[in-house]
Amino acid sequence: MQVSALAQIASERPAAAPTSLAGQGRAALLARLTELGVPAREQRMRVAQLWHWIYHRGATDFAAMTTIGKEMRAALAQSFSLGRPHIVCEHISSDGTRKWLLRMAPKGPGDKGAEIETVYIPEVDRGTLCVSSQVGCTLTCSFCHTGTQRLVRNLEAAEIVGQLLVARDQLGDWPGAGRLGDAALPDAPRLISNIVFMGMGEPLYNFEAVKDAVETLADGEGLSLSRRRITLSTSGVVPMIPRTGTEIGTMLAISLHAVRDELRNELVPLNKKYPIKMLLDACRAFPGLSNARRITFEYVMLKNINDSNADARELVRLLRGIPAKINLIPFNPWPGTRYECSDWDRIEAFSEIVFNAGYASPIRTPRGRDILAACGQLKSETEKLRARARLMLESGIGAEGMFASSE
Ligand code: SAH
Ligand code: SF4
């Protein structure tokens, strides 16, 4: 190939995407302004202005930032973007649950962009966004689909916050934006009132980014989600639990799932490192724990594995003395799993014992079952569909209609 042809191809190649300011925290924004050469005396004011437009108004274009002078807006637009993670596909369940497969901006040459999932669960009086903290997971819980995928990388704080920005864009959940007219949406001032770190990944293995992201999510001048409405779910990374209380200050959920070490070793292999007693001692000592600020214990209902009456009685015995809520989660099966969800009357009998011990409404209603809403399932399902679509293309069959995609 001739040199001129190579030069031609190079010039046609899209330039690397500019850094997005959407999702960045105050310190990161300050650093970006320094890079841009904004004088030190102006920087605080500029950060405050950007903050307002990005996190209070949901601006997706610098041109909309009318309180910032034209020249400054142009300079910002030349160096940065307000891009969000790219929506690869959206699934809407018949119960109103929405699930997005999101592709992050590529991190360098050869990176096609990591993919993660985010789920929105509307209820009557609240809307919960379930966010991912890592791409994949290093842990290998045997009932979890994410556990079968390797860890690709940690998400950055901006990529965690970006999931909320995308969801608010899609739902029209910004002041003055046209809200989606969907009967399944909550009748509440905000469509997204709660955040749970229950998507892909173990948030306590990405502590600093999760901490930074929570700072931005909870900041009173922007997204303003109270830390009491943000829940971090962990499979039990005991050494990080005290710092979660003192430095992050959100609500805590523990994926317990078994009451005996032998079984928990199998379901949540991290238990071999941090067994049940050690985990519950860390919970008892959790900073800020009170009856008004309880720890949620998650317990996935697996048929004939952990769902006997004896298991239920042992569960309430183990938790005695810890201000706790118990969330019974019907197992959401995925292709190839060796587990089944407990029968409904078994779940009811189990929950009756838990209820009689003083824990209210403990069964989490399965949501979005028709769109595979459990942890890690959308991503692999889409990968499979894509592989199938490629095969069909290769054999000359049209792939349209295989899956809804914004591409
Ligand atoms: N890694 C963290 C947070 C992400 S998983 C943790 O393990 O806590 C969020 C919750 O979903 C956890 O309680 C997890 O055990 C549960 N979960 C994973 N796969 C599931 C499935 N197939 N059905 C029901 N719950 C599942
Ligand atoms: Fe990772 Fe949580 Fe799934 Fe376990 S349950 S593999 S910790 S995402």
pLDDT value of residue 9: 40
Write out the H or E segment, with its range, that includes residue 195.
Answer: strand 194-197
Q: Name, in order, each residue with C-beta under 8 angstroms of 29's C-beta and a sequence gap of 6 or more.
A: 21, 47, 50, 51
Beta strand segments in 28-144, E: 80-81, 86-92, 98-103, 115-122, 127-130, 134-135
**pTM recorded for the entire structure:** 0.88
pLDDT value of residue 380: 53
Measured CA to CA, the distance from residue 130 to residue 164 in angstroms comes to 9
Pocket of ligand 1 (CB under 6 A): 141, 143-145, 198, 201-202, 233-235, 255, 298, 300, 329, 331-332, 334, 374-375
**263, 276 Cβ separation under 8 angstroms:** no
Measured CA to CA, the distance from residue 204 to residue 65 in angstroms comes to 36
Strands across the sheet with 127-130, in order? 86-92, 98-103, 115-122, 127-130, 194-197, 230-234, 251-255, 295-301, 324-330
Determine the 3-state secondary structure of 196 from DSSP: strand
pLDDT value of residue 370: 65
Bridge-based pairing of strands 80-81 and 86-92 is unpaired
**283, 260 Cβ separation under 8 angstroms:** no
Residue 232 pairs in a beta bridge with: 197, 252
Residue nearest to atom 18 of ligand 1 (CA): 144
pLDDT value of residue 390: 38
pLDDT value of residue 152: 85
Place of tokens 């302004």: 33
Nearest ligand by distance to the CA of 334: 1
**pLDDT by position in tens, the chain (length 407):** 333 443 444 444 445 678 999 999 999 999 999 999 999 999 999 999 999 999 999 999 999 999 999 999 999 999 999 999 999 999 988 888 999 999 999 888 888 899 999 999 998 888 999 999 999 999 999 999 888 888 889 999 999 999 999 999 999 999 877 777 777 788 877 899 999 999 999 999 999 999 999 999 999 998 999 999 999 999 999 999 999 999 999 999 999 999 999 999 999 999 999 999 999 999 999 999 999 899 999 999 999 999 999 999 999 999 999 999 999 988 988 889 999 999 989 998 999 999 899 886 556 666 666 665 554 554 555 454 444 333 333 332 222 222 222 22
**114, 152 Cβ separation under 8 angstroms:** yes
**296, 325 Cβ separation under 8 angstroms:** yes
Q: From ligand 1's centre to the CA of 142, what distance in Å?
A: 10
Burial of 336 (0-12, 13-18, 19+ CB in 10 A): exposed
Backbone φ, ψ for residue 146 (5° rounding): -60, -30
Beta strand segments in 51-173, E: 80-81, 86-92, 98-103, 115-122, 127-130, 134-135, 153-154
Place of tokens 């069909």: 392
Pocket of ligand 2 (CB under 6 A): 137, 139-141, 144, 146-147, 200-202, 235, 255, 375
pLDDT value of residue 384: 45
Bridge-based pairing of strands 115-122 and 127-130 is antiparallel
Measured CA to CA, the distance from residue 345 to residue 312 in angstroms comes to 14
Ligand 2, closest atom to CA 146? 3
Bridge-based pairing of strands 194-197 and 98-103 is unpaired
Residue nearest to atom 6 of ligand 2 (CA): 147
- Which of 257, 299, 300 maximizes ligand 1 atoms within 8 Å of its Cβ, making it the mutation to test the pocket? 300
Q: Name, in order, each residue with C-beta under 8 angstroms of 133's C-beta and a sequence gap of 6 or more.
A: 154, 155, 160, 197, 199, 200, 201, 202, 203, 206, 209, 210
Structure tokens at 384: 């499979």
pLDDT value of residue 379: 54
Determine the 3-state secondary structure of 325 from DSSP: strand
